[in-house]
């Protein structure tokens, strides 16, 4: 599989990574463990070597799953995990990036992942109570100690990225970015390009919307699916955003491909340091998504897509109010 460098860090990963979260948490009930391990190992067999998890996914069980799945080939893969949420009784109750908590999380994550180092360790959300310079300083120490090899920031704004980068180079920023969530283009992507930082879009398929399988009649289980609380996934918003999906479907037909492959190819075409991590919880999804690497979008194609997008206003906030408050624009 094609490889990409995450900025100037020297970290080389498969051009398409795998978000592991959906196997355990977030978009419905957890999948069977054996099936989940099979999915992860199939992704590796197809050339994907970049796997993304977090202590908050489950919580905890997603890291355990990934650790077991990749144990036979640990040295051949890049593991990304995250710290920074405050977890109480299995629920997220806030953020916590105190140095002592970062250290406690990394030790626990290493055990769950069955490894002695984490390749890329993200701050999951910015903690307004802890200066980012202090957070970056703690992560620098963990790099020097060999506990982690690189660090990144998730849902961070340009100013935070700059401040952290002065303490120790940031390897990657993981913010939501897709053809229907383009906020990073204004400030974050330019600062990543300027400073030589990789960019890892989460939800590159619009948290499932760009697959075309979600309709206004889709019911999201409030107990297991985060989208039940996202304004962009109300029946009204889904109906209002249908023109975007129609644009994708029409363009995919012209290229003899699928909307999913167009959405991923579009991201890959934006910058050479972008590595999407779609959540793939079925083998057929992996095989389908990988085909996006063969889709060539010309400059004229990208202009045509942008022209179509300029006529569409996306309705509904991308996250619920609580999670938006934990993100930096």
DSSP state of 206: G
- Smallest CA-to-CA distance from 39 within 66, 57, 64, 63 is with 66
With a CB cutoff of 8 Å and minimum separation 6, the contacts of 208 are 27, 214, 227
The structure tokens 């934006």 sit at 270
Query: H or E segment at 80?
Result: strand 78-83
151 labelled catalytic: no
Rg (CA), the chain: 19
Using CA atoms, how far apart are residues 282 and 85, in angstroms rounded to an integer? 28
What is the rounded CA–CA span in Å between residue 119 and residue 132?
20
Task: Give the C-alpha separation, 191 to 222, whole Å.
Answer: 37
Q: By three-state DSSP, how is residue 157 classified? A: coil
Give strand pairing partners of 19: 52, 279
Residue 59 makes CB contacts below 8 A (sequence gap 6+) with: 25, 87, 90, 92
Active-site residue, selected from the candidate residues 57, 122, 151, 177: 57
Q: Number of helices (H) and strands (E) in the chain: give both, helices first.
A: 12, 11
Catalytic residue ranges: 57
């Amino acid at each position: 599989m094609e490889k990409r460098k995450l900025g100037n860090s020297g970290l080389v990963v498969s051009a398409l990574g795998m978000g592991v979260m959906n196997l355990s948490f977030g978009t419905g009930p957890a999948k069977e463990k054996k099936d989940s391990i099979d999915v992860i190992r199939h992704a590796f067999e197809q050339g994907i070597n970049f796997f993304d998890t977090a202590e908050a996914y489950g919580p905890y069980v997603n890291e355990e799953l990934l650790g077991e799945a990749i144990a036979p080939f640990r040295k051949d893969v890049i593991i990304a995990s995250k710290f920074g949420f405050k977890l109480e009784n299995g629920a997220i109750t806030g953020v916590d990036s105190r140095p002592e908590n970062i250290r406690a999380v990394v030790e626990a994550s290493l055990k769950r992942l069955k490894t002695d180092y984490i390749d890329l360790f993200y701050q999951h959300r910015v903690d307004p109570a802890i200066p980012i310079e202090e957070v970056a300083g703690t992560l620098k120490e963990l790099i020097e100690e060999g506990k982690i090899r690189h660090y990144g920031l998730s849902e961070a704004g340009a100013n935070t990225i700059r401040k952290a980068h002065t303490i120790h180079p940031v390897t990657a920023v993981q913010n939501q970015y897709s053809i229907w969530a383009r906020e990073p283009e204004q400030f974050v992507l330019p600062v990543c390009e300027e400073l030589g930082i990789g960019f890892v879009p989460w939800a590159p398929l619009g948290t499932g919307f760009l697959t075309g399988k979600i309709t206004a009649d889709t019911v999201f289980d409030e107990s297991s699916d985060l989208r039940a609380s996202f304004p962009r996934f109300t029946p009204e918003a889904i109906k209002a955003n249908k023109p975007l999906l129609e644009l994708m479907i029409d363009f995919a037909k012209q290229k003899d491909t699928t909307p999913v492959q167009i959405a991923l190819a579009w991201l890959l075409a934006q910058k050479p340091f972008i590595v999407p991590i779609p959540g793939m919880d079925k083998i057929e999804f992996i095989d389908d998504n990988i085909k996006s690497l063969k889709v060539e979008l010309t400059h004229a194609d990208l202009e045509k897509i942008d022209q179509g997008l300029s006529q569409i206003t996306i309705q509904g906030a991308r996250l619920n109010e609580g999670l938006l408050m934990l993100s930096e624009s």
